[in-house]
Amino acid sequence: MEKKMLILGLLLSHDMHGYQLNEVLQHNPGTPISLTKSNAYKLLNDMERDGWITHTQEQVGNRPQRRVYSVTEEGKVEFFRLLRENLSSQPSPEFPGVVGLDFLHLLPSDEAAALLESRLQLVEKNFQQLDELPLQIRQSHPSSEYLHKFYANEIEWLSGIIKRLQSQ
C-alpha cells in the first residue's frame, strides 16, 4: 500500500504521466521504498480501475501520447486514510543485508572483512549521492534526511565491524 500512497502523494503535488513519474522516482536518491517502472504503470492502471485517479490524454508536438493522471476525490480520501495509518503505525522495515551478519563467524575473519569492505564502498556511494543534494532540498524531504542519517550510521557501524575483524 505504501507504493500506492507514494504515487498518490506525488500526483497530488502535481499531475503527471507515467513516464514522468518514473523519472521522478529514478532520479530521486531519497526514496525509502523500491518501485520499478512496470510496477508503477500497473499500479496506475489498478488505481484508475478503482476510481482513485483518472487520466486525460495529452500530446506535445509529435511525441507519443501521454496519459496525464490526477487524483479523484475518492483517491484523495483514500490517500489520507493511508497516510494516517502509515504515520500512526509502524510498517516494519526490512533489512535483508543484516541477515548475513549473524553468520559472519562461519567465515575466516579476513575474508569476512574483505566482503564487508566491498559493501562499505557501495554504502558510501549511496551516502554521497544524498550528501551532495542541496541542503534545502534534503531538508524539505524528510525521507532523504532520514536516509542520509541512516547511511551515515551504516558507514560508522560497518567500519567498526571491519576494524574488529581485521584485528583478529
| Contact flag: residue 66 with DNA (CB under 7 A) | yes
Q: How far is CA 135 from the centre of its chain?
A: 19
| Contact flag: residue 146 with a second copy (CB under 8 A) | yes
Is there a contact between 128 and 121 (Cβ–Cβ < 8 Å)? no
CA-CA-CA-CA dihedral for 23, 29, 142, 150, to nearest 10: 160
Is there a contact between 28 and 40 (Cβ–Cβ < 8 Å)? no
Judged by CB under 7 A, the residue of 12, 20, 28, 31 near DNA is: 20
**Which residue lies nearer to DNA by CB, 36 or 140?**
36
Judged by CB under 8 A, the residue of 38, 89, 167, 168 near a second copy is: 89
Please state, in angstroms and rounded to a whole number, the distance separating the CA atoms of residues 52 and 28: 24
Judged by CB under 8 A, the residue of 83, 108, 110, 166 near a second copy is: 83
Task: Tell me the site size for a second copy, rule CB under 8 A.
Answer: 50
Please state, in angstroms and rounded to a whole number, the distance separating the CA atoms of residues 84 and 126: 30
| Contact flag: residue 86 with DNA (CB under 7 A) | no
Binding site for DNA (CB under 7 A): 1, 3, 17-20, 22-23, 34-39, 41-45, 60-67
